């Protein structure tokens, strides 16, 4: 099969499309024919020399994929079933979705709801799954209908879907972006307002800023997350799901002990089966109200991955880049 292989040898990184056998790690892995894969920030981190994310020297990249089961020894997955594959070591420590076929343990397979085609499931991908997981975490904390929720990194894969799904579920998303030229696009996705990256808080001289947000979904981390914490309303939460700016967090305990705010950790990689079922079901529920087409930055072939990964690294994308490993 054709696959996008990342290889590091003595600090020399190469990325190329070539013919390889599908990488099976366990006899009872399920084989999936990939219709579409997606390009994620994490994929760009994996395809970097001396990557701290990649766990092996050589592998097929791609942390998510959607397609059809072609080989399974498990009763719950049959030939022809449509599935999403994401999580665990996929595309990080074992061969991933930038290929025509991918093997996966059942733990990282999710049956697709009827409402979602494999194309739309990969528009969702890891990014949209994380966006919905974040939204559900805010709802669990008591988010009220009509709440004003800040989304940072709003034009990215996670951010744009957070804006879209918040709007589809009756909330009022405020999109924070470093790409003001995309304001119209973000408004069309459902943002009630678009603000700059440095407009997530006020009163910089004080320990706490004004109570601006009923909730937040943060893809950025670092100083942005610290500023969000000091600007949440009493009792509100921020779903911390990303680190595109920084993995550091310098804050005080004041937001927690005087405003009762919640720092909600979000991880999609090891999400339990119960969480996966809940998130895909919520996605299926909003799907009829969502226009997936504008969330696609572009559809590419395996050969175009190096340029796409560069665009992700440099924040030059809008929504999701999809990969078709078998064009034509
Ligand atoms: N927790 C999980 O399980 C999980 C799952 C998926 C992804 N993630 C993480 O979520 C984050 C977003 O992933 P993604 O796939 O959506 O990435 P993405 O498509 O590359 O989007 C990231 C967005 O962040 C903004 N941005 C980029 N560089 C920035 C910087 N230096 N400072 C501030 N903003 C910056 C840009 O949006 P604007 O131009 O609009 O500001 C960019 O489009 C990543 O850190 C990723 O690792 C976590």
List the CATH number of the domain containing 90.
Answer: 3.90.180.10
User: Could you tell me the pLDDT band of residue 297, with boundaries at 50, 70 and 90?
Assistant: very high
List, chain by chain if needed, residues with CB within 6 Å of any ligand 1 atom.
40-42, 126-127, 130, 153-159, 177-179, 197, 219-220, 241-245, 266-269, 312, 315, 317
What is the band of 11 on the pLDDT scale with cuts at 50, 70, 90? confident
Q: How does pLDDT run across 253-263, given as a tens digit for each residue?
A: 999 999 999 99
In this structure, the residue with its CA closest to atom 2 of ligand 1 is: 267
The answer on 301 and 242 residing in a single domain is: no
Tell me: the pLDDT tens digits for 179-193? Answer: 999 999 999 999 999
Q: Write down which residue in 265, 281, 313 finishes a domain.
A: 265
Mutate to test the pocket of ligand 1, among 244, 266, 323 (most ligand atoms within 8 A of CB): 244
Residue 310 included in any domain:
yes
Strands 2-9 and 12-19 come out as antiparallel
Tell me, yes or no, whether 71 lies in a domain. yes
Taking Cα atoms as reference points, which of 262, 6, 217, 229 lies closest to residue 127? 217
Is the pLDDT at 235 greater than 90, yes or no?
Answer: yes
Report d(CA 222, CA 171) in Å as an integer.
Answer: 26
Q: How many domains does the chain have?
A: 2
| CB contact burial 197-211 (16+ within 10 A = b; e otherwise) | beebbeeeeeebbee
pLDDT one-digit tens code per residue, 45-92: 999 999 999 999 999 999 999 999 999 999 999 999 999 999 999 999
In a domain, 283, yes or no: no
From the list 230, 216, 238, the residue with the least C-alpha distance to 172 is 216
Q: Which residue of 156, 226, 313 sits with most ligand 1 atoms within 8 Å of its CB, as the best mutation to test the pocket?
A: 156
User: Which residue's structure tokens are 């009827």?
Assistant: 114
User: Which whole number is the average pLDDT over 89-104?
Assistant: 97
Q: How large is the average pLDDT for residues 199-221? A: 96
Do 165 and 76 fall within a single domain?
A: no
The 10 Å CB-count burial string (b at 16+, else e) for 282-313 is bbbebbeebebeebbbeebebebbeebbebbb
Residue 235, judged by CB atoms within 10 A of its CB (0-12, 13-18, 19+), counts as: middle
Mean pLDDT of 275-286: 96
Examine the domain organization and report whether 258 and 302 are in the same domain: no
Angle subtended at Cα 12 by Cα 10 and Cα 13, rounded to the nearest 5 degrees: 125
Residue 161's pLDDT is 98
Residues 257 and 133 in one domain: yes
The stretch 31-43 carries a mean pLDDT of 97
Residue 214, in any domain of the structure:
yes
pLDDT for residue 27 is more than 90: no
Residues 165 and 40 in one domain: no
Please tell me the predicted confidence (pLDDT) of residue 8: 96
Residue 117 domain-assigned? Answer: no
Q: Are residues 80 and 198 in the same domain?
A: no
User: What is the percentage of the chain residues whose pLDDT exceeds 90?
Assistant: 96
- Provide the pLDDT confidence category of residue 23 given band limits of 50, 70 and 90: confident
Q: Has residue 271 got a pLDDT over 90?
A: yes
Distance between CA atoms of 133 and 272, rounded to whole angstroms? 12
Look at residue 103 in the predicted model and tell me its pLDDT.
Answer: 97
User: Are residue 157 and residue 257 in the same domain, yes or no?
Assistant: yes
* 145, 96: one domain: no
CA of 41 to the centre of ligand 1 (A): 6
Mean per-residue pLDDT, 144-170: 97
Q: How far apart are CA 88 and CA 107, in angstroms?
A: 8
Q: Is the predicted pLDDT of residue 195 greater than 90, yes or no? A: yes
Could you tell me if 12 and 142 lie in one domain?
no
Q: Per-residue pLDDT for 304 more than 90?
A: yes
In this structure, which residue's CA is closest to atom 27 in ligand 1? 315
Q: What is the mean pLDDT of residues 236-245?
A: 97
Residue 302 phi, psi (nearest 5): -55, -40
Residue 280 counted as domain residue: no
pLDDT category at 328 given cuts 50, 70, 90 is confident
pLDDT of residue 186: 98
CATH number at residue 138: 3.40.50.720
Looking at every residue in the chain, the average pLDDT score rounds to: 96
Within-domain flag for 102: yes
Comparing C-alpha atoms, which of 149, 147, 148, 156 is closest to residue 177?
A: 156
Determine the atom of ligand 1 nearest the C-alpha atom of 240. Answer: 1
Same domain, 158 and 227: yes
Same-domain pairing of 206 and 239: yes
The share of the chain scoring above pLDDT 70, in percent, equals 100
105 with 135, same domain? no
Domain that holds residue 73: 2-111+292-323
Q: How much is the pLDDT for 245?
A: 96
Query: 272 in a domain, yes or no?
Result: no
Give me the pLDDT at residue 10, please.
86
């Amino acid at each position: 099969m054709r696959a996008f292989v990342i290889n590091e040898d003595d600090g020399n990184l190469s990325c190329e499309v070539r013919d390889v056998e599908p990488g099976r790690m366990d006899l009872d892995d399920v084989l999936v024919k990939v219709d579409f894969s997606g390009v994620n920030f994490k994929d760009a981190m994996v395809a970097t020399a001396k990557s701290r994310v990649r766990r092996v020297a050589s592998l097929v990249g791609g942390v998510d994929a959607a397609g059809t089961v072609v080989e399974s020894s498990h009763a719950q997955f049959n030939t022809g079933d449509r599935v999403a594959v994401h999580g665990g070591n996929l595309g990080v420590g074992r061969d991933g979705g930038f290929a025509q076929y991918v093997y996966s343990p059942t733990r990282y397979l999710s049956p697709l709801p009827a409402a979602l085609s494999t194309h739309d499931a990969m528009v969702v991908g890891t990014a949209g799954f994380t966006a919905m997981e974040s939204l559900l975490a805010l709802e669990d904390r008591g988010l009220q209908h009509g709440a004003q929720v800040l989304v940072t990194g709003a034009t990215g894969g996670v951010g744009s879907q957070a804006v879209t799904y918040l709007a589809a579920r009756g909330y009022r998303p405020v999109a924070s972006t470093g790409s003001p030229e995309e304001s119209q696009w973000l408004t069309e996705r459902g943002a009630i307002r678009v603000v700059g990256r440095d407009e997530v808080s006020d009163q910089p001289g004080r320990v706490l800023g004004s109570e601006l947000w009923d909730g937040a979904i943060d893809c950025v981390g670092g100083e942005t997350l610290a500023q969000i914490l000091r600007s949440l309303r009493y009792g509100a939460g921020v779903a911390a799901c990303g680190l595109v700016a920084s993995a550091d967090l310098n804050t005080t305990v004041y937001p927690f002990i005087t405003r009762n705010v919640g720092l909600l950790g979000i991880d999609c990689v090891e999400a339990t089966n119960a969480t996966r079922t809940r998130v895909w079901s919520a996605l299926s529920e909003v799907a009829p109200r969502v226009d997936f087409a504008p969330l696609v930055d572009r559809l590419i072939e395996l050969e175009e991955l190096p340029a796409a990964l560069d665009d992700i690294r440099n924040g030059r994308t809008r929504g999701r880049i999809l990969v078709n490993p078998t064009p034509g």
